[in-house]
Structure 1
Amino acid sequence: MSTNLQDSPMTEHPVRTPIKRTVLMCKPEYFTVVYRINPWMNPALPTDTSLAVSQWQALYDIYIELGFDVHLIDPIDGLPDMVYAANGGFVIDNKAYGASFTYPERQPEGPAYMDWFRDNGFEVHAPREINEGEGDFLLVGDVILAGTGFRSDSNSHEELAAISGREVITLKLVNPSFYHLDTAIAVLDDTNIAYLRSAFDAASLDILEARYPDAIIATESDAAILGLNSYSDGYNVVIASRATDFERQLRERGYNPIGVDLSELLLGGGGVKCCTLELRR
């Protein structure tokens, strides 16, 4: 998948402007699948940690090439899912709302990420409610879309609203394969998203259709490889390299899709966005 955008003379779309991002990532030095807490995980299937590291490195290198400021948190032996940094919290206006994980296997990650936030000058807010960070909280302009149904408790939405001072809109996920909001919605810029209709209940679909009438509607096949689990700077959109229809749709809208292969990390139920936690000062 090329990083160059070629438009025909007849193509018309708004000019997309990239905005430098600051993100936190965690190298998958201890990645493996030894338990099952989502439909993607199967401990009976072999995993290749070295391959996971090399694929993650490719994502890291793309971010560096795009001019992102990339910070790293040290991985911890025994926490194989720590590579999915997006679940470690939600950061806005220098405030870090910490994560409180549903499953015991991941619960030690919450304090580890909060320690990193604290050590790096963020105002840390320890959670009272169960939530899994940017896995279920997505900022679109001044609004936070918030997922519930599988991992984050809806009470965490109220907690985040009080901490952030932002409007938080609850969306209910209904398909266990898309257990985090960032597997079913891709934020493209401050006003545009892409999403998978079948991941949401009827009331949530009504909200999405009303707020984002021009949204990209993802195909089931692209969503099935976590194609929506992508990360955008407003122009460049890093996506799963196999999400070919999503690539086409993005190009038609004036974005520049950049494909990356994270197939090994998909065995743990994560993709591009799962590996990427945005740090907003």
Structure 2
Amino acid sequence: MPTPRHATPRRYLMCPPAHFEVTYAINPWMDPTKPVDVPLAVAQWEDLRDRYRALGHTVEELIPRPGLPDMVYAANGATVVDGRVLGARFAFREREPEAAAHLEWFRAHGFAHVREPVHINEGEGDFAVTASYLLAGRGFRASPLSHGEAQEFFGRPVIGLDLVEPRYYHLDTALAVLDDAADEVMYYPSAFSPGSREVLRRLFPDALIATDDDAAALGLNAVSDGLHVLLPQAATGLFHPLRQRGFEPLGIDLSELLKGGGSVKCCTQELRDHA
């Protein structure tokens, strides 16, 4: 019998891809020689935004800025837990100005506890919030020193996880939280070091394990409200196991935004406003 699931209303921050392009390569998914269809990217992004709203969630919008094509990946701009905001500090200069744009938004929207970080972290790209832990990726972008900074700021135990496969350069490309009230996740073991795989096995013995093909479709770059799991539609192998566990998978086509190395989760920052 599948576990009974319940959706919880969420509040998200997203940024339209009005200025999206791929003119540089800072991850293995990016190829500046491949053209980008901006109207299609906007239409796909709007479909995701509208799906969230149709499910009863609130979507706030960050105004995109010219010259910052990766602002559409709003998850990277900050991490919000219990109404506390830890800003981002980007590893690549191309994205550095995004951090200030996010901090300005939070300060303008009544968030009282906002921290500009000392160490490199790329927001929810490498921080994932479960009921018990703050999972924290490292190896390609985030500094290991950001883990202690986050633990001290949020007062939650941080579990460091080493990423070793360049295509899965952020934690949110290799692991997704399915139920943040019950420490339930899905992940792709090969993206992690042997020791980190063992940590995940111990912490989440019943996790859903993704196949090579579903990971390669960025199927783990997903967002769950506790019932509905929005994920790339090409990750077909995840749909049946999710349904077996009582979730309702919803396939999303973000093929244009995949050209920049992101999908559903990359476009979606969760605003966890309250403790």
TM-score of the pair, normalised by structure 1: 0.95
Cα distance in 2 for partners of 1:24, 1:139 equals 16
Q: Which residue of 1 aligns with 2:37?
A: 48
- Tell me, yes or no, if structure 1 residue 19 matches structure 2 residue 8: yes
Please list every run of 5 or more consecutive structure 1 residues that lacks an aligned counterpart in the other structure: 1-11
- Residue by residue over 1:134-181, the C-alpha shift from the partner in whole angstroms, topping out at 9 and shown as x without a partner, is 000000113100000000001001000000000000000000000000
Cα distance in 1 for partners of 2:240, 2:254 equals 20
Equivalent residue of 2:106, what SS?
Answer: helix
Cα distance in 2 for partners of 1:154, 1:66 equals 36
Residue 233 of structure 1 deviates from its aligned partner by: 0.3
- Tell me, yes or no, if structure 1 residue 259 matches structure 2 residue 248: no
Aligned residues: 270
Residue 182 of structure 1 deviates from its aligned partner by: 0.3
Q: Which residue of 2 aligns with 1:30?
A: 19
Q: Which residue of 1 aligns with 2:215?
A: 223
Cα distance in 2 for partners of 1:126, 1:142 equals 24
The letter for the 2-side match of 1:51 is: L
Residue 42 of structure 1 deviates from its aligned partner by: 0.5
Q: Which residue of 1 aligns with 2:186?
A: 194
Q: Which residue of 2 aligns with 1:149?
A: 139
Equivalent residue of 1:274, what SS?
Answer: coil
- Sequence identity percentage: 52
Where does structure 1 differ by over 3 angstroms across 4 or more consecutive aligned residues? none
- Tell me, yes or no, if structure 1 residue 159 matches structure 2 residue 167: no
The letter for the 1-side match of 2:197 is: L
Equivalent residue of 1:107, what SS?
Answer: helix
Cα distance in 1 for partners of 2:41, 2:27 equals 18
Residue 78 of structure 1 deviates from its aligned partner by: 0.3
- Residue by residue over 1:195-230, the C-alpha shift from the partner in whole angstroms, topping out at 9 and shown as x without a partner, is 001000011001000011110000111111101000
Q: Which residue of 2 aligns with 1:205?
A: 197
Question: How well do the aligned residues superpose, as a CA RMSD in angstroms?
Answer: 0.6
Please list every run of 5 or more consecutive structure 2 residues that lacks an aligned counterpart in the other structure: none
TM-score of the pair, normalised by structure 2: 0.97
Which of 261, 266, 271 is equivalent to 2:263? 271
Equivalent residue of 1:187, what SS?
Answer: strand
Q: How does 1:83-162 map to 2 (within 5 A)?
A: 83-122=72-111, 123-162=113-152
The letter for the 2-side match of 1:72 is: E
Cα distance in 1 for partners of 2:142, 2:80 equals 16
Cα distance in 2 for partners of 1:117, 1:133 equals 14
